[in-house]
Structure 1
Amino acid sequence: MVRKKNKNVSNLRGRQLIAHENPKSPIAEQFRTIRTNLQFTSVDTDLETMLVTSASPSEGKSITTANTAVVFAQQGKKTLLVDADMRKPTIHYTFRVDNTKGLSNYLVKSHLVTELASKTDVEHLDVIPCGPIPPNPSELLGSDKMKSFIKEAKKTYDVVIFDMPPVLAVADAQVLSNAVDGVLLVVRSKQTEKEAIQKAKEQLDQTKANILGVVLNDQDIKSSNYYYYYGQ
């Protein structure tokens, strides 16, 4: 069983895995560009673990995380996507996997990472859903058991990506941020306020997080030169 680069990700609707379903589309190409830029930020060391978060809710964080995981898998890297949003999990919906067991089970009981991982329709990509929602997510994410999870996952997978709750909503992303190689921050065009982005960055800086970059989600594709290029 199983520094700073800004890129636009446009018009994502629903829980669409566009990088898998329409890999030749301009949006899928943007996800591949994000992947390349992430790899350039850690040119001297391999990017093995990362988390994706946002400043506030409803900014397209989870679907951005899922598509980013897809493009890493498409590169031939054995990739694990972990739903570490143990408050409002969505990965099991996106990939249509059972959520009766997941990350929370590992953190409170004895399980192997491979026992909890589910294969997906994307070659080289496995997912671990949230599992039953616990009453104390922050404490679990900051535990020694979580460190053991990361260590074990790295033995099996080339890339481990965590989907986390928004920074300004709860402390979960901050708790895990210095246990991974880097953090990717998602913001939504015309919705996320500048002050919220600045505050989110400040909170991540407080934990000495390695902020890899920012993804600008839902940018109007018609206004970009990228659209012009692909429209010819």
Structure 2
Amino acid sequence: MKFVDDKRSVLLTSSLQGEGKSTCSVNLAYAMSSSGSRVLLIDADLRCPSLHTILGLEGSAGLSTVLIGQAELRDVVQPVGMERLDVLTSGTVPSNPNELLGSSAMEELLEEATMRYDIVIIDAAPMLPVTDAAVLSQFVGGVVVVAESERVRRAEIDRSMGKLEAVGAKVVGVVLNRVRGSASAQDAYGDAYLSAERDSAVPPAADVEPVLSGSAGANGPAQGDLPQRVLVRTPAPGSRDGLEGTMARPRGGAVE
């Protein structure tokens, strides 16, 4: 299905820091570029950026540089080894990230990006510590929430969803991350999320293929397409199921 409002942009966030949203952003970008889409991955976590570390890129010039008028988008995007995937790192961490992310300059940057690329994927700050992701959500076609199964609590998901609903954000999916092998535990947490999502209908979780295999399957997503509502479970470290061993790893330290 098409991105909501045909904006062809999606924002990934989480309730708390350290739930794996940046890793999921990288994997989604690789998956969509492997399917034939031209993808721009933006590090919009201007408080604790990590994509430049994960991908081994230059981080001093990037999003913040463009937003304050010191560079053009085309001058600071960086390719990452795939012909159709570019990354816009965070740039220097500013003193006023919330103000920059909610500015007309940010809106104009995203408009330009969606004209140049088929899909724009935005890695944003977590919901509960700051309001950055909620502010950014007004400029994108949809929001995906990443939730770590054994860490985040139902009340925290409730609060995150409430903040997104309050600003009219369109939540198009959730990634249930680092799930243990127990089916009963997965079902219990899935039930908690469904309840937290109130009346929104979520289809049953589907098996997930590795996304860094180098090429998309014959039935991979079409350009500009993502499911409007999907619950994806990714395994915990040590699990032999799903994506374990295929997720992009940082070059040092944990991934947010």
- Do the two structures share a fold, i.e. TM-score over 0.5? yes
CA distance in 1, matches of 2:46, 2:4: 33
Structure 1 unmatched ranges of 5 or more: 1-39
178-187 vs 46-55, greater mean Cα deviation:
46-55
AA aligned opposite 1:206: A
Cα distance in 2 between the residues matched to 1:72 and 1:84:
19
Q: 1:165 aligns with which of 116, 125, 131?
A: 125
Structure having the higher helix fraction is: 1
Query: TM-score, structure 1 length as denominator?
Result: 0.77
Task: Give deviations 1:70-103, integer Å, cap 9, x for gaps.
Answer: 1010111000000000010000011111011000
**1:84 match:** 44
Question: Which string of whole-angstrom CA distances, capped at 9 and with x for unpartnered residues, describes residues 132-164 of structure 1?
Answer: 000000000010100110111111100001100
- What pairs with 1:29-40 in structure 2 (closer than 5 Å)? 40=1
Structure 2 unaligned residues grouped into runs of 5+: 187-205, 208-239, 244-256
**Mapping of 1:1-232 within 5 angstroms?**
40=1, 42=2, 46=6, 48-221=8-181, 223=183, 226=207
The 3 A distance-change label for structure 1 pair 228 and 141 is closer
**Which letter maps to 1:115?**
D
Counterparts of 1:83 and 1:180, CA distance in 2 = 14
Partners of 1:112 and 1:188 lie apart in 2 by: 36
Question: How many angstroms apart in 1 are the aligned matches of 2:129 and 2:169?
Answer: 17
- Relative to structure 1, is the Cα distance of residues 222 and 100 closer, same or farther in structure 2, using a 3 angstrom cutoff? same
CA distance change for structure 1 residues 45 and 165 in 2, over 3 Å: closer, same or farther?
Answer: closer
- Count of residues in Structure 1 that have an aligned counterpart in Structure 2: 190
User: Which deviates further from its counterpart, 117-126 or 84-93?
Assistant: 117-126
Distance 1:43 1:65 in 2: 16
Q: Identity of paired residues, percent?
A: 34
Amino acid at match of 2:30: V
Whether contact under 8 Å (2:62, 2:92) holds in the other structure is yes
Give the secondary structure class of the aligned counterpart of 1:218.
Answer: strand
TM-score when normalising by structure 2:
0.70
